[in-house]
Structure 1
């Protein structure tokens, strides 16, 4: 059974242009983002199907946009495992998620983990396709942040990435760290851990200490 699972991961890794360990990372990120989307949908009183749609859009939205921009079929269209992962996330929230639904901190944890892990898969996939490093940083940011934009639109909220919170900038910082490690030949898994730590740390510290980007003020906000 273990050999069959390893073979499946290797096949998926070849298809996704990712190392086997990064396929596992993508699964974990899918679950984390799906749970964060389903949790917010539940707060808006969505039914099970609506919550599943929001969770799935959160989990695969960024990767879909990335793959379209890279000129390849979206990853979830060639393997149903990701859609199944989102279904399992919904089941988890239904059965065990009362604390997840109630607590704001649990949404933040899942959203931040998904952001960090999807940023990594976007970076690695883009680099493996031969694109330059600056493109990889952008695609990592798209993979990590775009799903959250779709989620917020579906639940009728201003997307978090467009507000004053440090969100996409955390992806860019993690992407730069990943590129530096990639350039000096750091092992991919170690590089991924360092990048994830940077994204999670920046996002956590930004929320804790209220770090914000400057707000662009329009005509209505000019001082008299």
Structure 2
């Protein structure tokens, strides 16, 4: 399931994180790439510091408090977040994320865009879904969720700077198709409840949703 979450952070919050990032030191992004992805990765990532950790803690809190993220990802655990930067000429070629990172199985990848899209050219997150390449460039503060199994890349930045936070989720529901089914059922349960309250149809849908989650959750 590909899912864009609008306004995980407000424009003001995203702007504050950009301002904080301006004070940070960055190092070569190849350090966090796998053996083969390292060959096509050319970006920067914020070096460890209390200031960087404060930025990432704000993002982690926003993720934990976002209901759509929680329902779509069903997170069991997450890898440490990375604050990445792409300057003019930098890019990340086609790759698939490592299956295991820091002892966690990677089921879902995500990119939280922090830069205003008008402030840079290029830098799209391009996801291959078997039929076409989908180029994603979201407003500052919005987030893209996508399966870690997909081939994807970041197009070269030709003007300005692209700042983003990236991370990976080990989900309680391992299979992407099952996560999507549960997410759709949750939406249906809420829609029915909003229209008619705790009806017979609501009870049946809620029962199916809960029992499927019980069956599939690790």
TM-score, with structure 1 as normaliser = 0.27
Q: Hey, which of these two has a bigger chunk of strand by percent?
A: 2
Q: Name the structure, 1 or 2, with higher relative contact order (CA <8 Å, separation 6+).
A: 2
Which is helix-richer, 1 or 2?
A: 1
Q: TM-score, normalised by structure 2?
A: 0.27
